[in-house]
Structure 1
Amino acid sequence: MNNKLTGIAIAAAIAAALAFVYWPAPDGDAPQVAAGIAAAPQGRSLASYLNLDAAPMPAAAPVPVTLAQQLARLAASGKPEDAYAAYNLLDDCIVFQREGRLPGLEFELGREMTAEEKAAQQQLCAGLTQRQREDRLGYLAAAAQGGVPGAATIFLSEGPFGDRSALRNRPDDPLVQAWKRQAIAQLTAQADEAELTSVSTLMMAYLRDGEVVQKDAPQAYGYLLALRQVYDDILAPGVTNPYQDEYWHWLQAELTPEQQAAAAAKAQAIVAKYRQHTGRPAHG
């Protein structure tokens, strides 16, 4: 019965359309026809008749973008920022597969991940391959070399080629030595551009003998002075500056007047660059 009614409706609609197109009314009747068409209530279109028996089509569910697709898109741009995003994407998957959660994300959100968020992360990371794990540090190296804020510090924390133990177990290995030079050069370049994560990382590194650099009090003090002045700019009135003299006077006491002057000049250059980047006025 429905098929029969559908056939009749289709035939009637097609016939009406053909009659209107190929057999127009005489000239004298044209205004009335046009007026009738204009005044007629809007009915169903021909297309709607052709779908009389069709059930409404549900909206298509969005197709999840796979991990491989996201990585391909990020890699194709050639931008250091996208290389850093690719590194973080892979690092998140490695952490999630190990811990079943993303502590960094939960810290930012101020809450635990929901079941839905965990399910989505599980689905995304299910396709993680060994090749992608190996590519992770390559993305990080590209980001650090490209000057992405924070990447140089993460590069240092990963250790030589992702093996932190190499700093202790193979300190004289030429490859490890070259990695250390690269790590410090990247941090220094970023610190000179007033990237505060790098400034802080180098200050802490030069405070004592370590696996990457030896203690260098003048260097540490220069970065300390830069952070003190930048935080004086950033912090609201009345908020204690963690880099003020009362906490760090012992470091200043280790320096000669000449070393203190050189550290102050180094700090001023970094602070000037920071104020240039942020549009803050230079202090006289």
Structure 2
Amino acid sequence: MQLDRLIATHDPENAYEAYWLIANCDKFNRQHDRMIFDMEEVTQNRNLIPYRGMNDSEKQHDAKLCAGMTERLRLSRFDYLATAAKAGVSGAIIQVAEEEPFGDRSALTTRPDDPLVQEWKAKVLDQLAKEAESGDLFTLNYLWTHTVTGDALIAKDPALTYRYAVAQGLIYRDLKGPTANEATMYAPEGQLMMSIVELKPEQRMAELAAAQRIADKARETGKH
């Protein structure tokens, strides 16, 4: 079984893959559909979010793969996710945020003053910020899209929206060249960045400098 092989390696990267295998099945079994990460949505269709619904072939695959999943197996995904996030596996802390405190999707709104929830929130926000500042593309994309409007976990913050989106574009410029769709879409003075946030010129300059530092760090560390 694929899951057993992943777990047997005791590798955080494989633990994260095991988490996704279970989480995807959980979502498919509940909704009979799930979002598929597909960068063509950005590069070819010019959508801001690189996700789409499943096609028929993908649905048939998941229906076979996910049949018979037990509750014990479903809940085990949290252990694998914690292992991956603790090791700093790219994207893992995003999923910790998405799963919300202890897998309770209502905790942030129904128990915001609970010390355990507050502690969880502080740790997750701290790790998200560290991952973004290190130049992790997944985290940069996650944070800029969430700081646009804000939610129960992440506060609305136009300055950070600009910083993280522009940093993403600068990193793609380094990776693919200045004419790449991802680089032009998130250009500092491009249509998206000029329309999505309202900042004073001096704020834009400060956040552009911060974005450049993120891109420089990503390049220096070979993160991408």
Q: TM-score, normalised by structure 1?
A: 0.61
Q: Pick from 227, 234, 237 the counterpart of residue 179 of structure 2.
A: 237
Amino acid at match of 2:199: E
Deviation sequence 1:51-98 (CA, Å, 0-9, x none)? xxxxxxxxxxxxxx3xxxx44443343221111111112123323433
Describe the shift of the 1:220–1:72 C-alpha distance in structure 2 as closer, same or farther (beyond 3 A): same
Describe the shift of the 1:114–1:175 C-alpha distance in structure 2 as closer, same or farther (beyond 3 A): closer
Secondary structure at the residue paired with 1:184? helix
State yes or no: 1:254 paired with 2:199. Answer: yes
Amino acid at match of 2:57: M
Q: Pick from 87, 100, 118 the counterpart of residue 177 of structure 1.
A: 118
Larger Cα-atom Rg: 1
Length, aligned pairs only: 208
Describe the shift of the 1:169–1:231 C-alpha distance in structure 2 as closer, same or farther (beyond 3 A): same
Residue of structure 2 equivalent to 1:92: 24
Answer with 196-205 or 208-217: which moved more: 208-217
- For structure 1, the residue ranges without an aligned partner over 5 or more in a row are 1-64
Matches within 5 A, 1:61-210: 65=1, 70-100=2-32, 104=36, 111-113=55-57, 117=61, 120-122=64-66, 125-126=67-68, 128-210=69-151
Deviation sequence 1:103-161 (CA, Å, 0-9, x none)? 63998998422797457415xx42x3222222112211221222222222222122222
Amino acid at match of 1:270: I
Describe the shift of the 1:220–1:129 C-alpha distance in structure 2 as closer, same or farther (beyond 3 A): same
Secondary structure at the residue paired with 1:94? helix
Q: TM-score, normalised by structure 2?
A: 0.74
> Could you tell me how far 1:249 is from its partner in structure 2?
2.4
Cα RMSD (Å): 3.4
Describe the shift of the 1:193–1:114 C-alpha distance in structure 2 as closer, same or farther (beyond 3 A): closer
The CA distance in 1 between the partners of 2:59 and 2:164, in whole Å, is 44
The CA distance in 2 between the partners of 1:154 and 1:249, in whole Å, is 30
Residue of structure 2 equivalent to 1:212: 153
Using CA pairs under 8 Å that are at least 6 residues apart, name the structure with larger relative contact order, 1 or 2.
Answer: 2
- For structure 2, the residue ranges without an aligned partner over 5 or more in a row are 39-50
Please tell me whether the aligned partners of residues 25 and 62 of structure 2 are also in contact (alpha carbons under 8 angstroms): no
Please tell me whether the aligned partners of residues 144 and 186 of structure 1 are also in contact (alpha carbons under 8 angstroms): no
Amino acid at match of 1:165: S
Answer with 129-138 or 71-80: which moved more: 71-80
Residue of structure 1 equivalent to 2:45: none
Amino acid at match of 1:237: T
